[in-house]
Structure 1
Amino acid sequence: MILLFGGTTEGRATAHLLDHLGMPYLYHTRTPGNQSVKGKHQWGLLDQPAMVKLCRQENISLLIDAGHPFAEQLHKNVTNTAQITGLTAIRIERPELSLEQRHLRVFESWPQMMDALEKLPIQRILALTGVQTIGHFQTLKSPHKIHFRILDSALSFQKGLQTGVPKAHLHPAPAHLNAQNLNQMLKYIDPSLLISKESGTSGYLQLKIDTAAYNNLPLWIIKRPKLPRYAHLVYQISELHQLLLRMRRTKRQPDLPLRNGYTTGVCATAAALGAFEWLMTNQCPAQTKLFLPDGAEVEQKIYAEAAPLNNTASCTVIKDAGDDPDVTHAAVIGCRVKLLSSSEIRFERGEGVGLVTLPGLNCPPGEPAINEGPKKMMVHNLKILAQRYGYKGGWILCPFIPEGRTLAQRTFNPRIGITGGLSIIGTTGIVRPYSHSAFVGALQKHMEVAKAMGHRQLVATAGQRGENLYREIFGDQTETAFVHYGNLIGETIHCAIKCNFEKISIGILPGKAIKLARGALDTHSKNAALDPAYVQELAQRAKLSLRGRKALKKIILFNEAESLLAPSDLQRLYHEVEHACQETLNKKFPKNIKIKVMLLHCPGHTTRQKNSPFRAT
């Protein structure tokens, strides 16, 4: 349970973020107010002992202070409570604005400002500081005519009257300030001086600064108090989103089931939808829904990146990879969308998205590393949204990953010919966490279900792409007869033996097949790499031509063989690889289960498919 202190714009935004993340929370505010949040809501003053007691009673695991910048006592209580209880405290602070303009005068404290006011001749003043600050002005001896803009609520008006301020000097106004109602108030009161707190953008400080300048009025600003030390200090809800995702992973309880996440393709699609909707409505959506390839609908939170200009806008999404050890977990994934008058749809490479430089991947060399699956998902969802708005044009879609170039150094992308960034990938849109024990446990359960349904044999492929290829070649099989081994071929066969299956067919693509042929039962790149000497050994055994053997010396990825070899050489090599895979498994597993290896054709560009002699055997 998270204890969130709010009552502010940031408080409500944080509550909505926690709702989106499915993280339970207790929302605490000073007054009841109108707080439309899904979490449990409490209100009232809390001193430090009461705060500590509440944390222990509610089994609080994290403190988030989204209170007002001037809630000085709250900040002290939160940080002291964190120190006493050993909890982590996060502060969501409002970004500071420049206060260098000529018509502004900045004060470090209320007494300093009151001293300056004492020296002024009598004048009419409008304080835009709220009902809680009236007490500071009542220390003045000078008989200034001070008017107060207060929140339009019965509680605020009652508090104002209790201070002794004349009713005519209290001006209730909506919480959401705009230039029109502020200028109306100025016209009605006709002040010669404005006073405000350094309340940040969400406190409409920039609007107050601009309005004062427009009306040629001086504006005095009281600086916000200094914050005590928090474990984490963030300035945007998107930063908090990233921080909470990282913390949820590091603090994960081991007995909980592993959480699925979303691919970079889903995130780029959501960002594209957000930008397109922004262009259609002139308002950036807070979240968007999209359809995955299997028809499931998911929701993603949207953040504004670049407002509409010249038919172009950009939005971002914070990636949640669940419990998978994905380097892009909590990374910013975005997309820039440009509207076209024609029906053309074009993809471009944005910052941090890699460039494909070698054959054998899902994208041709020279193209952005955006796989076909995400491309189809983006176009499909955009067309659905376009129908809603009656849009008939096309798009230029430019995904970007601001940290992509740096994050790519922690992947194998540079080694496999993707330079300058990461890939936009994802066949299903879902990231399923890679945990050895959890993976094997789930695999075992899957097989038990298949056995209970009367299946005597299984088809195992690395993932959805391999399964789709198998179905294309051999026709549909019952859904439960298929299992995905990921990289754990050996563990998959052990599970099949344990469940007493009679036969298992291993459908495998060339990249993993060359590793299995060499004897690797776990084909993850951290455990098995391409062995050039072994490739040459296979080439000799397959009796490849001299030209073919020379061509194979150049490869970095085994998938490149398809584009480098003549059809006859390629077929002989693939048959030899498949034979070597079969030998590996025959030697390592008992005879009471029949194992059949099928090398599947790896789909590349259409031109290569036409000339490729190989199919599953």
Structure 2
Amino acid sequence: MILVFGGTTEGKKVAGILEKAACPYYYSTKTNIDFQPGAYGIYRHGALTATQLQAFCKVHAVRAIVHASHPFATQLHATIYESAQTLSLPVLRYERNYPERLEHPLVKYCSSYTVAMSWLEQHPVKRLLALTGVQTIAPLTPYWQQHATIFRILPRESSLALAVQAGFPKEHLVQDMPGNDLQQELALIRQYDIDCILTKESGESGFLATKIQAALQSNIPILIIERPALPDTFITVSDEVSLLAGLNSVLS
């Protein structure tokens, strides 16, 4: 049995690969999403602590974990690492593609949100467009309470509820799916008179290249939070061949 942590484009790719290879697997996400497994998959949802994850792996005889969740799911990274170390389970990290980091005066990579906020304090902007996701609204409260900020969040009731819970004003929310439509991004920047973008190093699946291009065409800075480092014990794979080869290696 293989346990897949998904909820992303990469997670769906992994599920498709395992279905094709007739490998039994559990597909796990934090929240309940519209995921229909095939003949070899079983879907579950709900956050797991390290203790719960270890119990799940024991009960279901999990022999390998494929971690295909979001690169910024830092708590999940830690939970998987701790559990895998305790149970001596191999972890394959199905990684997304990332564009090469661009060296440009308007493109600024930041090691943390604290660094990004410090830059913004030193370089005040009229209106910030935050594309960092609804989960970052609460941590960034000290900034948006004092400075004009627009947050784009997913068009889901759960996302809206989190934003409202954090106290963020509804009129400053844009509920829309991210995409690779450059004209759509440029229109959003013009509509709200944005003069700086805050986003995450979310790779091609997060349409990072499109966001950067929109900032450059608009001649405004874009602050990019660098993706967190992963444990050295995770085995990186990025396609069907490397995933199946990795599974064959650790399960043989």
For residue 93 of structure 1, what is the aligned residue in structure 2?
95
Query: Do the aligned partners of 2:130 and 2:151 also contact (CA within 8 Å) in 1?
Result: yes
- Following superposition, the deviation at residue 175 of structure 1 comes to 4.8
User: Residue 175 and residue 3 in structure 1: after superposition, are their counterparts in 2 closer, same or farther (change >3 A)?
Assistant: farther
Check whether the contact 1:5–1:64 (CA below 8 A) recurs between aligned residues.
Answer: yes
1:110 alignment partner in structure 2: 113
Q: Structure 2: which amino acid aligns with 1:85? A: L
Kept in 2, the 8 Å contact 1:118–1:140? The answer is no
> Deviation per CA, 1:310-329, whole angstroms, max 9, x where unpaired?
xxxxxxxxxxxxxxxxxxxx
**1:181 and 2:209 matched:** no
- Indicate the residue corresponding to 2:77 in structure 1: 75
Three-state SS of the structure 1 residue aligned to 2:139 is helix
Over residues 162-205 of structure 1, what are the superposed CA-to-partner deviations in whole Å (9 max), with x where a residue is unaligned? 11111011111125442233223222212000111000111111
The residue type paired with residue 6 of structure 2 is G
Contact 1:96 1:200 in 2 (8 A): yes
CA contact (8 A) 2:93 2:236 kept: yes
Q: Residues of 2 paired with 1:177 and 1:152: CA distance?
A: 17
- For residue 82 of structure 2, give the secondary structure of its aligned residue in structure 1: helix
Where in structure 2 are the equivalents of 1:106-255 lying within 5 Å? 106-140=109-143, 143-244=146-247, 246-247=248-249, 251=252
* Unaligned residue ranges in structure 1 (runs of 5+): 252-617
Q: Which amino acid aligns with 2:190?
A: K
Does 1:50 find its partner at 2:52? yes
- The CA deviation string for residues 291-313 of structure 1, in whole angstroms up to 9 with x for no partner, is xxxxxxxxxxxxxxxxxxxxxxx
Change (3 A) 1:241 1:42: same
Deviation at 1:217, TM superposition (A): 1.7
User: Contact 2:197–2:223 at 8 Å: present in 1 too?
Assistant: yes
User: Aligned partners of 2:184 and 2:153: how far apart in 1?
Assistant: 13
Aligned counterparts of 2:189 and 2:174: Cα–Cα separation in 1: 11
Offset of residue 234 of structure 1: 1.8
Question: Which ranges of structure 2 fall in alignment gaps of 5 or more residues?
Answer: none
CA RMSD across the alignment: 1.8
Q: 1:208 to 1:236 in 2, by over 3 A?
A: farther
State the AA in 2 paired with 1:106.
Y
Q: What is the TM-score when the length of structure 1 is the normalising length?
A: 0.39
Contact 2:128/2:197 (<8 A) preserved: yes
What residue is the counterpart of 1:25 in the other structure?
25
State whether residues 125 and 195 of structure 1, in contact with CA within 8 Å, keep that contact through their aligned partners in structure 2. yes
Amino acid at match of 1:173: D
Which residue of 2 is the match for residue 35 of structure 1?
A: 35
Residue 136 of structure 1 deviates from its aligned partner by: 2.5
- Determine what percentage of the aligned residue pairs are the same residue: 35
Q: Which SS does the other structure have where 1:136 is aligned? A: coil
**In the alignment, does 2:16 pair up with 1:16?**
yes
Pair 1:68–1:231, CA change in 2 (3 A): closer
Letter in 2 for 1:57: V
Q: Give the secondary structure class of the aligned counterpart of 2:132.
A: coil
Task: State the AA in 1 paired with 2:29.
Answer: T
**Partner secondary structure for residue 194 of structure 2:** coil
1:118 is displaced (CA, Å) by 2.3
Q: Sort the Cα spacing of 1:241 and 1:101 in 2 relative to 1 into closer, same or farther, 3 A.
A: farther
Aligned equivalents of 1:170 and 1:65: distance in 2? Answer: 31
- Kept in 1, the 8 Å contact 2:36–2:43? The answer is no
TM-score (norm 2): 0.92
Cα separation, 2, equivalents of 1:34 and 1:225: 27
Measured after TM superposition, the shift of residue 70 of structure 1 is 0.5
Distance 2:125 2:205 in 1: 32
* CA displacement at 1:152 relative to structure 2: 1.2
1:147-546, aligned counterparts within 5 Å? Answer: 147-244=150-247, 246-247=248-249, 251=252
| Contact 2:178-2:206 within 8 A present in 1 as well | no
Residue 487 of structure 1 is matched in structure 2 by none
Give the superposition deviation at 1:207: 1.1
1:59 is aligned, of 51, 58, 61, to 61
What are the superposed Cα offsets for residues 446-482 of structure 1, whole Å, 9 maximum, x if unpaired? xxxxxxxxxxxxxxxxxxxxxxxxxxxxxxxxxxxxx
Q: Which structure is higher in RCO with an 8 Å CA cutoff and minimum separation 6?
A: 2
Q: Which amino acid letter does the alignment assign opposite residue 229 of structure 2?
A: K
Q: Is the 8 A contact 1:118 1:141 kept in 2?
A: no
Q: Is the 8 A contact 1:79 1:229 kept in 2?
A: no
Partners of 2:87 and 2:11 in 1: how far apart?
22
Decide whether the 8 Å contact of 2:129 with 2:150 is kept in 1.
yes
1:209 Cα deviation after fit:
1.1
